[in-house]
Copies of this chain bind each other. A is one copy, B any other.
Amino acid sequence: MKPMCGIVGYIGQKQAQNILLEGLRKLEYRGYDSAGIAVYNDGKLNVKKTKGPLSALQQLTDKDPLSGEMGIGHTRWATHGKPSDENSHPHMDEKQQFSIVHNGIIENYLDIKEELQEKGYTFASETDTEVIAHLLSELYDGDLVSTVQKAVKRMEGAYALAIANVMEPDKLVAVRLASPLIVGVGDGENFIASDIPAILEHTRDVYVLNDGEMAVLTQDRVELFTTDGTPVNRDMLHVTWDAATAEKDGYEHFMLKEIHEQPKAIRDTLAARLKEGVVDLSREISLTPEELKRFDKVHIVACGTAYHAGLIGKSVIESLVRIPVEVDIASEYRYRNPILTPSTLVIVISQSGETADTLAALREAKQAGARVLGITNVVGSSVAREADEVLMTWAGPEIAVASTKAYTSQLIAIYLLGLYLARVLGTQPEEQLLEVTEALPRLSEQVKSILEDHGSIRKFAEKIAQHENLFFIGRGLDYPVVLEGSLKLKEISYIHSEAYAAGELKHGTLALIEEGIPVIALATQQAVHDKMVSNIIEVKARGAHVLGLGLEGRTDLDRSVDEHITIPETLSLLTPVLSVIPLQLLAYYTSTARGINVDKPRNLAKSVTVE
């Protein structure tokens, strides 16, 4: 759903400048470091671009407005070359005939650049994008469409482009290869955007481009082709989604709002799938019991927070279904030649359904003959469209860069899947499954009770905000939870935090434990409780200041730690849904205590649609 850079394009009868600026503003929350627009007027493409926020760009256009009814705009999140005026988009060729905005990476840009430099082209920026403008100029044959087709053949990578030129000012071209792009269809005007909100106030009728497709827009028409030139017929999508759902509902930040939406997200994700103690996914998953029985191996593939959900998925599926599960980082999985057979079930997890590495893994797994089940939060996303089976999370739009409600909803989807497989395959006694299915719906209220009582977490957050380094430790199912808690804290507080399987600290990292360093220790797993207390005593003995997080009613933890918070009691298998909540709050309050813009941490984008 959410591109790394924002792209907007307009062609019609209104002034383009403000439509482009407004569109970019709608994409602002995804993070960017510079912005720019190009507007066509009287034989020229005039550009304004600058490092910094949109307000800086607005100052430039206020001083010297760009007139014209066709143009493109861009918010940039640096990949090649640092944030600067020169590196901002749009980029142009030397003759100022072509203007380009671009999301993604041209992997072979250095080769193309050297080739063009030999031909005498000089470059104004460090970006891969500028290379495209010069390449188009070099290849131009009098027809923008065929020129773009030729250029695309030379470009390796993953990208989305919007292209204007001065020779054919009656058209805009959009190209998608592995980076989201849509076309909005209006009345006497048409739009390009990297995501729907950018154009929602102008039209609700859109075409979603697929990989390897391009669109040619005039003010009255939109034509879709493959980049080979074959015409494409696509159904128009009518968007009913309401832009207002993305508002903050009175919370100071989207992240805090989304943390508090978790009881609802959990309820919504459970609803209609869980009835009278039985999980039924047969309406969503088309695999028959016979087909399900054939799986002898599960691979879970994801990135970032979703990868942490996958680690918990391994425990859940292995313990309930007794099929071996391997969990992989998507960017590694693709290139390690995994052992895939038709009896491998590959589960990919992506909130946006557009995470580039995860999507690539999905495609390779399908190609290798494996069956792919996608867990995603966005209807109509690439994962939702391309996976053989889809299990939706119903968390609603997630805006904050740091994922919270999408993550807990992914966990719920995993529990549902594990329980469903266990029931269909008969791998666990009914009464054991019943115990879990009865505990699941209680999680929503339990999360709520944790959210209501966050005073001590906030106090602890204010303490750790003074530190530059800290550790998280946990064993068993607490281990993936501390990985997630640590990532959350890193993302939005910039504290160097590392999470460890508590028993592993002794094998090297204990050297970093010194007087006063905060250690956040999870101890919710009954089976390893005593071992965990021993690990806590180890770091205490070296001077660590320990926050212990345990279960209500287990009173011995507070004897061993400096500060102690609890979560309500539930089955050991389900604790991750509860124990992550205080860690989300900890990250949030630490970030605000350090005066950081929680929703827009530096260097990060909401979803990563380049590799």
Contacts and interface: CB of A to CB of B under 8 A. Distances in A.
B331 A502 contact: yes
A79 B81 CA distance: 49
A534 interface: yes
A501 B329 contact: yes
B528 A511 contact: no
A202 interface: no
Number of copies: 2
A496 B330 CA distance: 26
A538 B107 CA distance: 13
Interface in A156-178: none
A546 B475 CA distance: 34
B507 A304 contact: yes
A601 to B, nearest CB: 5
A288 interface: no
Contacts of A286: none
B494 A603 contact: no
Given A492-B511, A603-B542, A80 B504 contact: no
Contacts of A307: 504, 507
Interface in A91-113: 105, 107-108, 110
A324 interface: yes
A305 B508 contact: yes
A257 B62 CA distance: 68
B82 A543 contact: yes
Contacts of A326: 324, 326
Interface string A496-531: 101001111011111111100000000000011011
Contact of A332 (B83, B110, B501): B501
B357 A503 contact: yes
A541 interface: yes
A341 to B, nearest CB: 10
Contacts of A513: 603
Interface stretch (A41-49, A144-152, A315-323, A453-461): A315-323
Contact of A541 (B80, B329, B601): B80
Instruction: Classify chain A: how many residues form its interface, as a range.
Output: 35 or more
Given A110-B559, A329-B504, A507-B608, A496 B498 contact: yes
A110 B507 contact: no
A502 B475 CA distance: 26
A537 interface: yes
B322 A602 contact: no
B508 A487 contact: yes
A508 to B, nearest CB: 4
A79 B534 contact: yes
Contact of A601 (B80, B332, B511, B604): B511
A213 B469 CA distance: 44
B604 A510 contact: yes
B79 A537 contact: yes
Interface in A379-432: 402
Nearest to A491: B508
A551 interface: no
Contacts of A608: 506-507
Given A79-B534, A501-B332, A511-B603, A324 B304 contact: no
A330 B531 CA distance: 13
A490 B476 contact: no
A534 B503 contact: no
Contacts of A304: 504, 507-508
A223 interface: no
**Which of A322, A503, A556 has the most chain B CB atoms closer than 10 A to its own CB?**
A503
Interface string A335-355: 111110000000000000000
B105 A331 contact: no
A608 to B, nearest CB: 5
A501 B323 CA distance: 27
B541 A82 contact: yes
Nearest to A607: B507
A297 interface: yes
Interface string A541-555: 111000000000000
A115 interface: no
A303 interface: yes
A589 interface: no
Contacts of A357: 503
A57 interface: no
A512 B486 CA distance: 12
Contacts of A541: 78-83
A158 to B, nearest CB: 10
A598 B80 CA distance: 39
Closest 6 CB pairs of A and B: A331-B503, A304-B507, A510-B603, A491-B508, A78-B541, A82-B541
Given A332-B479, A542-B603, 15 more contacts: A105-B534, A107-B530, A303-B503, A303-B507, A304-B504, A322-B339, A329-B503, A335-B531, A336-B476, A402-B508, A468-B469, A491-B509, A496-B498, A503-B611, A511-B604
13 contacts: A78-B542, A303-B504, A331-B501, A331-B531, A335-B531, A468-B468, A487-B508, A491-B508, A498-B498, A506-B610, A511-B604, A531-B611, A542-B603
